[in-house]
Amino acid sequence: METLAENPVEKMNATLTTIFERRAVRKYRNDPVPKAIIEKLLDAARMAPSAMNRQPWKFYVVTSKTVINTCAGQITKAAAGHYHLGLLSGIISKNYDVFHGAPVVIFITAPPGNEWAQLDTGMCAQNIMLAAKSLGLDTCPVGFGRFIEETEAAKALGISKKEKVLLSIVIGYGNEKPELHPRIKNNAVFID
Ligand SMILES: Cc1cc2nc3c(=O)[nH]c(=O)nc-3n(C[C@H](O)[C@H](O)[C@H](O)COP(=O)(O)O)c2cc1C
């Protein structure tokens, strides 16, 4: 068994490789994602830590292309009402697909009034994205998905008014390999 000293951090392992290679992917092949893989990703999500172990998350998993397209259309309209259109014109155009053509969209909701739910959900989302990457899939977190709350599509999915939609994630087999966005490095303070 290697000791920590013999295993310097320069050495990558499977977990680190997955973390460093994940990208927000915005182009997908049409291939469906097998249900067993989606179930595994949800199990990985459920392994996230949560404040007071409340596990406040609920997942709405959409794999119907028709439903995904309907949600995307309604979300784009709802989002446009929130932003200055000039600001958004590059992002939200008539042909913009908020879900990037992915075959799976997961909406994550939590009860309102849980002050930790956003953090819990973020951890749970990251588990999904890293698990997906480790299984050869790509993902993109889509904050715009939150606007589904303001649409008829939310009702169709069965998302109740008693839930806050905190994030959506798209999942699929990627059709692009985005370059790494450089990371800001001067944001750590060491107090030795
Ligand atoms: C909370 C959150 C919301 C995001 N919302 C969107 C979105 O609505 N649409 C999108 O294409 N990307 C979205 N992203 C992806 C970011 O743009 C992306 O993670 C960032 O540019 C860094 O790129 P990387 O993930 O490839 O490292 C979101 C990311 C986070 C964490």
| Token pair in block for residue 8 | 């310097």
Please work out whether the CB of residue 178 comes within 6 Å of at least one atom of ligand 1.
yes
| pLDDT, position 124 | 98
Unique residue bearing structure tokens 């008539």: 94
- Tens of pLDDT, residues 23-51: 999 999 999 999 999 999 999 999 999 99
Atom nearest to 26 CA in ligand 1? 11
What is the residue type of 139? T
With b for 16 or more beta-carbon neighbours within 10 A and e for fewer, the 37-60 pattern comes to bbebbbebbeebebeeeeebbebb
pTM for the predicted model, two decimal places: 0.93
Q: Interior CA angle at 108 toward 183 and 24, to 5°?
A: 30
Verify whether ligand 1 is closer than 6 Å to residue 84 (CB atom). Answer: no
Residue by residue, pLDDT tens for the chain (192 residues) are: 555 456 566 789 999 999 999 999 999 999 999 999 999 999 999 999 999 999 999 999 999 999 999 999 999 999 888 876 556 665 666 678 999 999 999 999 999 999 999 999 999 999 999 999 999 999 999 999 999 999 999 999 999 999 999 999 999 999 999 999 999 999 999 999
Averaged pLDDT score across all residues of the chain: 92
Residue 17 to residue 159: CA distance in whole angstroms:
36
Q: Relative to the CA of 125, which ligand 1 atom is closest?
A: 31
Classify 146 as helix, strand or coil: helix
Which tokens is 83 given? 């932003």
What is the C-alpha separation between 57 and 125, in angstroms, rounded? 10
Percent of the chain, pLDDT > 70? 90
Q: Are 71 and 99 in contact (CB under 8 A)?
A: yes
| 75 CA → ligand 1 middle, Å | 16
Q: Which among 127, 125, 133 has a CA at the least distance from the CA of 177?
A: 133
- Domains by residue range for the chain, with CATH: 23-172 (3.40.109.10)
Across the beta sheet with 164-172, the strand order is: 58-62, 104-110, 164-172, 138-142
Give residue 101's identity as a one-letter amino acid code: G
